[in-house]
Amino acid sequence: MHTPTLRSFTIALGAGALILGGPRSLGQTRASAPSPCADDNAGLTLPEGFCAQLFAEKVGRARHLAVAPNGDVFAATRDGGVVVLRDADGDGKAEVMETFWTGANGSGIALANDAVYFATTDRVFRIPWKPGELKPAGPEQVIAKDLPTSGHDQKGIALGAGNALFVSFGSLTNSCQPRGQDRQGPFPSPDPCTELEGRGGVWRFDARELDQTPADAKRWATGLRNPMAITIQPGTGMLYAGVHGRDQLTENWKWPAEEGRENPAEVVFALPEGADGGWPYCFFDSRRHIRLLNPEYGGDSTGTKVGRCDTKAMPAVAFPGHWAPNATAFYSGSRFPAKYQGGLFVAFHGSWNRAPAPQQGYRVVFAPFTNGTAAGTFETFASPTGDPASIRPAGLAVGPDGSLYISADAQGKVWKVMYVGR
């Protein structure tokens, strides 16, 4: 279990909603009632008392997930639309897989009581829907258009109070380099970083208004390189985001290999209106848990230069570098043990840039919250049983029965995780 000593600087969290199943070690059997899960947990290693089975496969490149009140699972895909999965006989597996809507590829999805919201790279659609139906109730509507593309252009979305539709705009560049110089160095980046005027943050749209552009929206939070893992905290309505950190501290700036491997930390922020995560000026050191200047803005590998970074937001939780947080979900169900109540699950897609050390990530972690506040620690909740990179989590959602659903885009699969007790 990883237990960084990071203090929580977040706002109180409400009950979250995540349900992970799971039980026993691989091959372990139970003397009581038959397990509802696969003997091998469908390739997942889970904590004692949890179990999993494969809910659906051949789903396509399933990214973010949302679950309807009747248990239907909606998956945004990078294959061009939305797929809906239904367990018709209650056996924990989806017998029905329907194409709900087809169009451009995307990652973001959210459910309202009368619509499915789906985010492609350049638009957010509102698709009329009647709960319990497997097809749209009418033609799609464009809520937001002309969103920034290229670079980190997969959008996360979340529905908040007062018709708020939050949409993440990832950065075009690694650390605000000029055109034609992205991911090169060593040389400084523009100061101020004008890219922040239209990217690197979260924007708030009106979920009921049609044909909005970014100019019609409010920039809710800034200084976030790639905050696609956004979610709303139940109870408080606070927006949270898991953020992908920058790359190439070693390759561009000749920092020691360990610094480039471990930094910057991947982080989760609480995002009240006006929050500033510090990108591209600052990064969060994964081991010392302090904010430091990036080398493009005067920092160096000694890790002593703070400068303007002392005014930037502190993360609620920090993780090792380059793990790639792709989805977040709070646990608000009642089926998991008490320690999970109100806590946050984070799906990590896994690293590509920790060489020559082994790549890492490829897991779902759990970060506890106490009385709505992050404890600052985390532990691995679900990971591949075999090859560490054989499952690359991309989406999370909690079902009405308290189960946690996990998608993996590269594998085209969705798992259902349940708690079955000791």
Amino acid in the structure at residue 194: T
Confidence band, pLDDT 50/70/90 cuts, at residue 36: confident
The pLDDT value given to residue 34: 65
> pTM for this structure?
0.91
Structure tokens at 326: 């792709």
Report pLDDT for 11.
28
CA neighbor of 243 nearest in space, from 197, 275, 215: 275
Average pLDDT for 26-46: 71
- Pure H helices in 169-254: 249-253
Give the mean pLDDT of 69-94.
96
pLDDT (average), residues 131-151: 98
Please tell me which residue, 28 or 235, carries the higher pLDDT value: 235
Q: What is the pLDDT of residues 264-273, one digit of tens each?
A: 999 999 999 9
- pLDDT tens, 300-344? 999 899 999 999 999 999 999 999 999 999 998 989 999 999 999
CB 288, CB 297: distance < 8 Å: no
What is the C-alpha separation between 99 and 127, in angstroms, rounded?
A: 13
Averaged over 246-258, what is the pLDDT?
96
What average pLDDT does the structure give for the chain?
A: 92
- Whether cis (ω within 30° of 0) applies to the bond prior to 4 is no
pLDDT band at 41 (very low <50, low <70, confident <90, very high): very high
- Strand, coil or helix: 55: strand
* Phi, psi of 196, rounded to the nearest 5 degrees: -65, -15
pLDDT of residue 35: 75
pLDDT of 191 higher than 50: yes
Give yes or no for a contact between 62 and 51, defined as CB atoms under 8 angstroms apart: no
Q: What is the DSSP string of 127-156?
A: EE--TT-SS-SS--EEEE-S---SSS-PPP
- Comparing CA positions, the residue from 418, 414, 420 lying closest to residue 94 is 414
- Mean pLDDT (whole number) for 10-25: 34
pLDDT at 54: 98
| DSSP assignments along 399-410, one per residue | -TTS-EEEEETT
CA distance 310 to 292: 8
Residue 192: which residues within 8 A CB-CB, separation 6 or more?
none
Contact 147, 123 (CB under 8 A): yes
What number is the average pLDDT over the span 199-205? 98
Please tell me the predicted confidence (pLDDT) of residue 80. 87
Beta bridge partners of 284: 291
DSSP character at residue 212: B
d(CA 111, CA 301): 45
Per-residue pLDDT at 9 exceeds 60: no
Q: What is the pLDDT at residue 379?
A: 98
What is d(CA 406, CA 382) in angstroms, rounded to the nearest whole number?
9
Query: Does domain 55-279+314-419 sit in CATH 2.120.10.30?
Result: yes
Question: What whole-number distance in Å separates Cα of residue 211 and Cα of residue 142?
Answer: 6
Percent of the chain at pLDDT exceeding 70: 92
In this prediction, residue 33 has a pLDDT band, given cuts at 50, 70 and 90, of low
State yes or no: pLDDT of 22 exceeds 80: no
